[in-house]
């Protein structure tokens, strides 16, 4: 699937042009950010006067940008993969590959941290790997919870009974009949939008609904905090100091992540087969 980016700018005729351009992936074989740059040039037309503009799209490890070949201001958003939100929700409900995806993400780490790279490149790599591991943990915890809860009438009931935000939701009689056939997707949408954007909510929800106690996961909250510096400042804190990431810290984080996931999998085994939904 190809990355896309939304752009907008003013045509000479005064019309506001809004369009979407394709974004090439950066060169993942590069060792340095400046060497990862890829460029493409795409034609965009004004709907009002048919004037042609050439938009240059540049992408590197650190982000993508657009510019007009003839100059002028252009606005652009973050690159994204186009997808149907409903398709994503159905995947969350139906997929049983959560553990497989998590393990695949972790298997890629060891070869990368052992690669021979210049010191500055190693720091950039460790920054990306730290963010990668945290994303893998959050993705697993979110998708495995959504899959198990939405495929069990008993667990949906537990969610409604124990989660104050969901239990406060009210539906008209018409909405109840309309939503009944898609209850799993309704629950999945709620969990994805309101719960797993906040890691602090995962621990009590896992305990209340799945009966799983994470114990002390202060290391994970700390890893999420560090991930913020990775994602927003490329590995530097607000004072401009590089964060403390190393080969050893990446290996330790990966080991703790694997231990956490294995414990969750053990709890899920004890849940048994999900009861069939009555619709």
CA distances from residue 125 to 119, 133, 158, 224 in whole angstroms, order as listed: 10, 12, 42, 17
- pLDDT tens by residue, 31-82: 777 788 899 998 898 888 889 999 999 988 778 899 998 888 999 888 876 6
Check pLDDT > 90 for residue 226. no
CA distances from residue 276 to 97, 184, 266 in whole angstroms, order as listed: 20, 12, 22
Q: Are the C-beta atoms of residues 125 and 113 closer than 8 Å to each other?
A: yes
What's the pTM value of the predicted model, to 2 decimals? 0.63
pLDDT at 88: 60
Half-sphere exposure of 256 (CA within 13 A, CB side): 19
The domain spans of the chain are: 3-76, 85-271
pLDDT at 158: 86
**Which of 96-105, 247-256, 266-275: highest mean pLDDT?**
247-256
pLDDT at 173: 43
- pLDDT tens by residue, 107-143: 989 888 888 888 878 888 999 999 899 989 988 888 8
**Please, what is the average pLDDT of the chain?**
81
CA distances from residue 130 to 27, 46, 252, 257, 259 in whole angstroms, order as listed: 20, 43, 11, 11, 16
pLDDT at 2: 67
48 backbone φψ class: left, alpha, beta (φ>0; ψ -120 to 50): alpha
More confidently predicted of 93 and 74: 74
- pLDDT tens by residue, 198-211: 677 788 889 999 99
Q: Are the C-beta atoms of residues 187 and 167 closer than 8 Å to each other?
A: no
pLDDT at 81: 67
For 72, phi then psi, to 5°, come to 105, 160
- pLDDT tens by residue, 94-107: 667 888 889 998 99
Lowest-confidence segment of 5-14, 100-109, 169-178, 222-231 by average pLDDT: 169-178
């Amino acid at each position: 699937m190809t990355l896309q980016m939304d752009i907008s700018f003013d045509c000479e005729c005064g019309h506001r042009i809004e369009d979407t351009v394709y974004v090439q992936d950066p060169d993942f074989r590069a060792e340095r950010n400046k060497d990862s740059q890829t460029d493409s040039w795409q034609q965009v037309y004004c709907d009002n006067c048919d004037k042609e503009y050439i938009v240059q799209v540049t992408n590197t490890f650190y982000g993508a940008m657009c510019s007009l070949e003839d100059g002028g201001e252009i606005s652009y958003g973050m690159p994204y993969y186009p997808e149907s939100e409903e398709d994503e929700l159905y995947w969350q409900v139906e997929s049983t590959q959560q553990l497989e995806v998590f393990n695949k993400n972790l298997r890629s780490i060891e070869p990368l941290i052992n690669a021979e790279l210049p010191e500055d490149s190693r720091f950039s790599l460790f920054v990306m790997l730290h963010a990668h591991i945290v994303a893998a943990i959050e993705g697993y915890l979110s998708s495995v919870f959504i899959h198990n809860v939405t495929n069990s009438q008993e667990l949906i009931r537990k969610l409604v009974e124990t989660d104050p935000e969901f239990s406060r939701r009210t539906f008209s009689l018409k909405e109840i009949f309309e939503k009944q056939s898609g209850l799993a997707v309704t629950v999945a949408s709620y969990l994805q939008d309101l719960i797993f954007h906040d890691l602090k909510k995962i621990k009590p929800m896992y305990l209340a609904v799945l009966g799983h106690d994470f114990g002390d996961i202060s290391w994970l909250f700390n890893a999420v905090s560090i991930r913020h510096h990775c994602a927003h400042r490329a590995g530097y804190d607000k004072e401009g100091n590089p964060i403390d990431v190393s080969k050893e810290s990446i290996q330790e984080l990966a080991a703790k992540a694997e231990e956490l996931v294995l414990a969750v999998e053990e709890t899920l085994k004890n849940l048994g087969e999900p009861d069939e939904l009555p619709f």
